[in-house]
């Protein structure tokens, strides 16, 4: 049966089908979203709980732990990580990728409600939760700054004018506000004045709470309906100042008599800077599946309107625009795609030296690539680096099928056949080979579709895109290619050729003669190719052990982050001074375009305390700077290390965030867990120091912060009871004084604000100020606090971390240039095994954990790809042995790929491993073309295996060279690494190019020898199973191995090979 005959007979139908594929593909292309990577949703929920003034230990034991115990029963929960710091706890719940985030959110909400009875009543609000995606980065970040406007007013513009308007833009999911300085009425109490008036601090809190109320007051019904409304709310500080809090004698004591009441901000322990001014940042997150470029353009279109609504003293800046790097990266990939197409077409022309013959297989390129866009649109894929890289790689081998088909038709025309007859006969003869090549190459990516986890999500889109392009190219090869060949090709003998054509033809003939001579030698001395094959297999295993292993290659995205840490207990002013010193060094670097500073709570790594900060640095475009991100980090590291009193940890953030501990200051994390906190806190610093001494690791830090100065108050319970007090009264007085207590709430038309009370700053600088506090007893007298307590100072935790409900310490680290992640992971594990006691459990987090999982997953995928190829080829050839012959070139491909990575000092990363998997499909194409022709020669002409494979190799020499060269030049631009994001694509290109180069040379000799051995053994076994005396002729005839190799006039009878 000739599948192509239908298309050859109906040229109009064939043309319209191809036109439809291209038209619908072009329409789909215009609607595909543009992104940097495939959309990966990590079902993650952040739970936040606050109790102002509570110590980290209190927050961990009284708030975080009860919540964690409830969350642990939720189905599909992979990990629970919590960090408790001063006055707040943050719990990160990461679910299985298959878990529906909305259903998980409902479970979290119900568990919070169940845990509510176990939480402290002093919490001003129940815990809140938010669905987040750690793998999704902001698409844009805006900055509001002003040199004259109060921060509270600036925050009001950020939260109302900016955030609310931008959140309504199509495609925007959320607008966050960082460095928020929300308005609050602050009451700074003077303990001396309180004592002079005989007033306890608890009376002040109660008076403020009772004076500012917003209760329902009802409705009056008569001839008219009246809504009863009171002015029970006090909105500004000036309204609170004259408030009467008590009477002493007949004289009222007002609030401003004992305190300073002023309009301030809710959180005065954090600050943000941009271009030398206090600033508020607004990161903008997109909805899943939306076009990053379109969302950014829509926000930019709104900015002129927003600027008109802002006062002249307020500046609105764009600090970060993710679409810029995406545009550059996608543009560079498109350029690589166009360059690859041109190179592949040039290769076809060099081999065929005929314009019409070159155009015919080249038409498979636009049909395959553009046709793939339709499927991408139907599957909700995007135009990102992975999908475009898949299409770029396709260019090198989607033309293979068309080349094989066209070359066979040309060969029949060289026999003297008319174009129409040559198209019929040539397509019938080669159709099965084309189908085998297409199906088997597509089958390589089937196991990838079954991969779970993050790696599977990353590669699904890549596998489907490349698989669809291959299938479309196979269809084009058996339909459009023979139809066009039957109409537009001219017989070779009817053409006159020039000097260049004849010179190239003479070169090809010399190559063929050389190959014929060397092939005869390899078949004669067959032990040598077999020995080389075994050596390659052993060498491949050896190289796999030697090549450095990585996960995701480092990319130059034009930005990096700096996390800073100072001594525990440092003040906000001193930390800000240190941070500005770091910024001063950054600003002097000519590669830096701009930077943003955050200091204090939420500002940096670890627990987000006052001793942490963060800088986000934006670089100039790559063409305008001399150094890459990694080079700039290495250049700045010694400069920043000279700043006294602060440590700076610089990280080139990966294109996708794989979770891990949110407070980590470096890219890779290793977590220690233990039920005994004393043992954990003893061994964690020891292990941290051991990790610092490892040669390939730098920027080592720990989230263990247990040296923060603290005031330890020992209660004398007997005295407390004797004086008519309770422990609750004493701790409530302390909370009122130092807990930044929210004593009341203001409900404005557009927002809610807090009234915050604490003692004045001058009474917080020294523990001796505790003696000025008084507590009213049940008898009505004021009792000095220092009469019922003993005060001493010591050190305590600044933050407390839990992993899986157990106390934990996370060690973070970065890699030195040239060090592979696999080597670092092994070194850290060996250090942990040699240092830590068995009672401490260890595990990697985030990227390092994903790397460990990928080592097992990718190896299994490679094995499954080979198994799938064997199954498909066995089905196609109805043979157990032919697939072994076809796959005999795999060791040479693996050897070449790994050797190339070693030579170019490139890691075997995730992308490089994809290249190795692709080689499984590419290399077997040569074997298919050889084996398919040899099997046909045995069946149709009764030739021996040795004769058949020899003739097959010579006849298929030209298409093998053409397809291999097309694949090589198609991958070469990726291997050379052009443009933005080339660092990620280059390992894949190097693996494919290296594997193809070595396998192309060796499989031309190894595969024929395997064929002779395996086919000879099969025929020997078949002969032994024959009935004695049976001389019936079989479909496949054997011949002794010593049979003469007489192949009469291959070039004339079989055409030019």
Q: What local confidence, expressed as pLDDT, does residue 31 receive? A: 87
Domain end marker among 796, 817, 835: 796
State mean pLDDT over 951-972: 84
Same domain (yes/no): 778, 859: no
Same domain (yes/no): 908, 1004: yes
State mean pLDDT over 106-133: 89
Whether the pLDDT of residue 260 is over 60: the answer is: yes
Q: What is the pLDDT of residues 467-486, one digit of tens each?
A: 998 898 889 889 988 999 88
pLDDT confidence bin for 858, thresholds 50/70/90: confident
Whether the pLDDT of residue 638 is over 80: the answer is: yes
* CB-based contacts of 561, cutoff 8 Å, min separation 6: 614, 615, 616, 617, 650, 651, 653
Q: What local confidence, expressed as pLDDT, does residue 135 receive? A: 63
Whether the pLDDT of residue 607 is over 50: the answer is: no
Domain presence at residue 50: no
Q: What local confidence, expressed as pLDDT, does residue 96 receive? A: 86
Same domain (yes/no): 926, 1012: yes
What rounded mean pLDDT belongs to the chain?
Answer: 85
Domain presence at residue 948: yes
* Highest mean pLDDT: which range of 309-313, 399-403, 450-454, 968-972: 309-313
Q: What local confidence, expressed as pLDDT, does residue 1053 receive? A: 37
Q: What local confidence, expressed as pLDDT, does residue 606 receive? A: 41
User: Count of domains in the chain?
Assistant: 2
Whether the pLDDT of residue 674 is over 80: the answer is: yes
Q: What local confidence, expressed as pLDDT, does residue 389 receive? A: 80
Burial of 101 (0-12, 13-18, 19+ CB in 10 A): middle
Q: Which two tokens stand for residue 458?
A: 């990353």
Same domain (yes/no): 780, 876: no
Q: What percent of the chain has pLDDT over 90?
A: 25
* CB-based contacts of 7, cutoff 8 Å, min separation 6: 13, 14, 478, 479, 480, 482, 483
Whether the pLDDT of residue 1048 is over 50: the answer is: no
Burial string for 802-833 (b: 16+ CB within 10 Å, else e) reads bbebbbbbbbbbbbeeebbbbbbbebbeebbe
Whether the pLDDT of residue 503 is over 90: the answer is: no
Domain presence at residue 126: no
Same domain (yes/no): 872, 738: no
Same domain (yes/no): 909, 1047: yes
State mean pLDDT over 948-977: 84
State mean pLDDT over 180-185: 84
**CATH number for the domain including 781?**
3.30.2090.10
pLDDT confidence bin for 1024, thresholds 50/70/90: low
State mean pLDDT over 283-308: 87
This prediction has a pTM of 0.79
Same domain (yes/no): 767, 865: no
Nearest alpha carbon to residue 783 among 727, 720, 845: 720
Question: What are the phi and psi torsion angles at 842 (to 5°)?
Answer: -130, 155
Q: What is the pLDDT of residues 30-64, one digit of tens each?
A: 888 887 777 777 788 989 998 888 888 999 999 99
d(CA 533, CA 527): 10
Q: For 547, which DSSP code?
A: S
Nearest alpha carbon to residue 473 among 388, 384, 377, 405: 405
Same domain (yes/no): 870, 933: yes
Q: What is the pLDDT of residues 225-258, one digit of tens each?
A: 999 988 888 999 999 999 999 998 888 999 999 9
Q: What local confidence, expressed as pLDDT, does residue 683 receive? A: 94
Domain presence at residue 288: no
Whether the pLDDT of residue 743 is over 80: the answer is: yes
Same domain (yes/no): 868, 978: yes
Domain presence at residue 1050: yes
pLDDT confidence bin for 1029, thresholds 50/70/90: very low
pLDDT confidence bin for 134, thresholds 50/70/90: low
Same domain (yes/no): 860, 943: yes
Same domain (yes/no): 892, 759: no
Q: What percent of the chain has pLDDT over 70?
A: 94
Whether the pLDDT of residue 174 is over 70: the answer is: yes
Domain presence at residue 1054: yes
Q: What is the pLDDT of residues 783-840, one digit of tens each?
A: 888 889 998 888 888 889 999 889 999 999 988 888 888 889 999 999 999 999 999 9
* CB-based contacts of 503, cutoff 8 Å, min separation 6: none
For 754, the domain range is 183-265+708-796
Pairing state between β 741-747 and 752-759: antiparallel
* CB-based contacts of 367, cutoff 8 Å, min separation 6: 18, 21, 22, 472, 473, 476, 480
CB atoms within 10 A of CB 726: 14
Nearest alpha carbon to residue 556 among 627, 492, 508, 503: 627
Whether the pLDDT of residue 458 is over 70: the answer is: yes
State mean pLDDT over 413-426: 87
State mean pLDDT over 415-436: 86
**CATH number for the domain including 914?**
1.20.1640.10
| Residue that is written with structure tokens 């209760």 in the block | 215
Q: What local confidence, expressed as pLDDT, does residue 672 receive? A: 94
Nearest alpha carbon to residue 556 among 606, 594, 507, 591: 591
Domain presence at residue 139: no
Domain end marker among 772, 796, 820: 796
Q: What local confidence, expressed as pLDDT, does residue 601 receive? A: 63
Of 365 and 800, more confident: 800
pLDDT confidence bin for 873, thresholds 50/70/90: confident
State mean pLDDT over 996-1015: 88
Same domain (yes/no): 993, 887: yes
Domain presence at residue 609: no
Of 491 and 173, more confident: 173
Q: What local confidence, expressed as pLDDT, does residue 1021 receive? A: 78
């Amino acid at each position: 049966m000739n599948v192509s005959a239908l298309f050859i007979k109906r040229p109009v139908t064939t043309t319209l089908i191809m036109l439809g594929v291209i038209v619908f593909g072009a329409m789909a292309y215009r609607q595909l979203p543009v992104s940097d990577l495939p959309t990966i949703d990590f079902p993650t929920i952040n739970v936040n709980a606050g109790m102002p003034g509570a110590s980290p230990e209190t927050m961990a034991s009284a708030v975080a732990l009860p919540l964690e115990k409830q969350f642990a029963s939720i189905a599909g929960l992979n990990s629970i990580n919590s960090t408790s710091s001063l006055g707040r706890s943050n719990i990160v719940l990461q679910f299985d990728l298959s878990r529906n985030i909305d259903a998980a959110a409902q479970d979290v909400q119900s568990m919070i409600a169940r845990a509510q009875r176990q939480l402290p009543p002093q919490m001003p609000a129940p815990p809140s939760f938010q669905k987040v995606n750690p793998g999704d980065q902001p698409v844009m970040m805006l900055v509001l700054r002003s040199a004259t406007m109060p921060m509270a007013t600036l925050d009001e513009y950020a939260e109302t004018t900016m955030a609310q308007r931008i959140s309504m833009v199509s495609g925007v999911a959320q607008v966050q506000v960082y460095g928020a300085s929300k308005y609050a009425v602050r009451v700074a109490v003077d303990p001396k004045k309180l004592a002079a008036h005989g007033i306890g601090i608890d009376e002040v809190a109660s008076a403020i709470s009772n004076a500012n109320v917003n209760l329902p007051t009802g409705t009056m019904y008569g001839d008219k309906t009246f809504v009863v409304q009171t002015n029970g709310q006090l909105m500004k500080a000036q309204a609170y100042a004259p408030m009467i809090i008590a009477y002493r004698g007949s004289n009222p004591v007002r609030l401003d008599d004992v305190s300073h009441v002023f309009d301030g901000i809710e959180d005065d322990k954090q600050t943000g800077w941009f271009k030398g001014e206090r600033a508020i940042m607004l990161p903008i997150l997109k909805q899943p599946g939306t076009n990053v470029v379109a969302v950014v353009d829509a926000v930019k279109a709104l900015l002129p309107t927003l600027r008109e609504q802002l006062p002249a003293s307020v500046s609105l800046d764009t600090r970060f625009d993710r679409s810029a790097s995406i545009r550059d990266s996608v543009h560079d990939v498109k350029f690589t795609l166009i360059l690859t197409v041109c190179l592949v077409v040039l290769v076809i022309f060099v081999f065929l030296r005929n314009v019409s013959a070159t155009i015919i297989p080249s038409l498979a390129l636009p049909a395959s690539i553009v046709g793939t866009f339709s499927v991408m649109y139907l599957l909700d894929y995007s135009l990102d680096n992975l999908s475009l890289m898949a299409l770029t790689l396709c260019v090198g081998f989607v033309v293979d099928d068309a080349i094989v088909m066209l070359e066979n038709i040309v060969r029949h025309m060289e026999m003297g056949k008319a174009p129409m007859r040559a198209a019929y006969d040539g397509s019938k003869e080669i159709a099965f080979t084309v189908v085998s090549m297409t199906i088997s190459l597509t089958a390589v990516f089937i196991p990838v579709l079954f991969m779970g986890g993050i790696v599977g999500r990353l590669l699904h889109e890549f596998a489907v895109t490349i698989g669809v392009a291959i299938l479309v190219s196979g269809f084009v090869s058996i339909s459009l290619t023979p139809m066009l060949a039957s109409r537009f090709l001219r017989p070779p003998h009817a053409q006159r050729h020039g000097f260049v054509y004849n010179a190239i033809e003479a070169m090809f003939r010399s190559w063929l003669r050389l190959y014929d001579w060397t092939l005869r030698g390899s078949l004669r001395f067959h032990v040598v190719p077999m020995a080389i094959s075994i050596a390659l297999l052993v060498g491949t295993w050896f190289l796999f052990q030697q090549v450095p292993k990585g996960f995701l290659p480092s990319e130059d995205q034009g930005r990096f982050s700096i996390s800073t840490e100072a001594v525990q207990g440092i003040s906000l002013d001193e930390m800000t001074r240190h941070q500005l010193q770091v910024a001063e060094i950054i600003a002097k670097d000519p590669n830096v375009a701009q930077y943003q500073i955050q200091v204090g709570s939420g500002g940096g790594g670890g627990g987000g305390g006052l001793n942490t900060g963060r800088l986000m640095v934006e670089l100039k475009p790559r063409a305008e700077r001399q150094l890459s991100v990694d080079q700039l980090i290495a250049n700045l590291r010694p400069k920043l290390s000279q700043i006294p009193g602060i440590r700076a940890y610089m990280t080139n953030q990966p294109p996708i965030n794989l979770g891990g501990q949110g407070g980590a200051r470096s890219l890779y994390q290793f977590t220690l867990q233990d039920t005994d906190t004393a043992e954990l806190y003893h061994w964690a610093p020891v292990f941290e120091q051991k990790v610092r001494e490892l040669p390939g690791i730098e920027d080592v830090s720990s989230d263990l912060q247990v040296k923060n100065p603290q005031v330890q108050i020992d209660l004398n319970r007997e005295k407390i009871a004797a004086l008519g007090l309770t422990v609750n009264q004493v701790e409530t007085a302390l909370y009122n004084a130092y807990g930044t207590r929210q004593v009341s709430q203001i409900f404005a038309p557009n927002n809610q604000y807090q009234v915050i009370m604490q003692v004045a700053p001058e009474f917080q600088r020294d523990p001796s100020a505790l003696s000025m506090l008084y507590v009213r007893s049940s008898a009505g007298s004021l009792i000095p606090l220092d009469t019922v307590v003993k005060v001493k100072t010591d050190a305590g935790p600044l933050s407390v971390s839990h992993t899986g409900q157990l106390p934990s310490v996370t060690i973070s680290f970065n890699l030195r240039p040239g060090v592979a992640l696999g080597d670092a992971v092994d070194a850290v594990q060996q250090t942990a095994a040699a240092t830590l006691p068995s009672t401490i459990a260890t595990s990697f987090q985030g990227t390092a954990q994903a790397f460990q999982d990928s080592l097992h997953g990718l190896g299994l995928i490679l094995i499954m790809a080979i198994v799938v190829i064997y199954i498909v080829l066995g089905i196609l050839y109805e043979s157990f042995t032919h697939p072994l012959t076809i796959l005999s070139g795999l060791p040479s491909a693996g050897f070449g790929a790994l050797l190339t990575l070693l030579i170019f000092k490139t890691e075997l990363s995730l992308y490089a491993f994809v290249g190795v998997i692709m080689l499984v499909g590419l290399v077997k194409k040569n074997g298919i073309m050889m084996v398919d022709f040899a099997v046909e020669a045995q069946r149709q002409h009764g030739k021996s295996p040795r004769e058949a494979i020899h003739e097959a190799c010579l006849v298929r020499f030209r298409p093998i060279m053409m397809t291999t060269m097309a694949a090589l030049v198609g991958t070469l631009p990726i291997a050379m690494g052009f443009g933005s994001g080339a660092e990620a694509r280059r390992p894949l290109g190097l693996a494919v190019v290296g594997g193809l180069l070595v396998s192309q040379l060796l499989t031309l000799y190894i595969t024929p020898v395997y064929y002779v051995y395996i086919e000879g053994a099969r025929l020997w076994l078949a002969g032994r199973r024959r009935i004695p005396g049976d001389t019936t002729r079989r479909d496949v005839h054997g011949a002794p191995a010593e049979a003469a190799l007489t192949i009469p006039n291959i070039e004339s009878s079989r055409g030019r090979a």
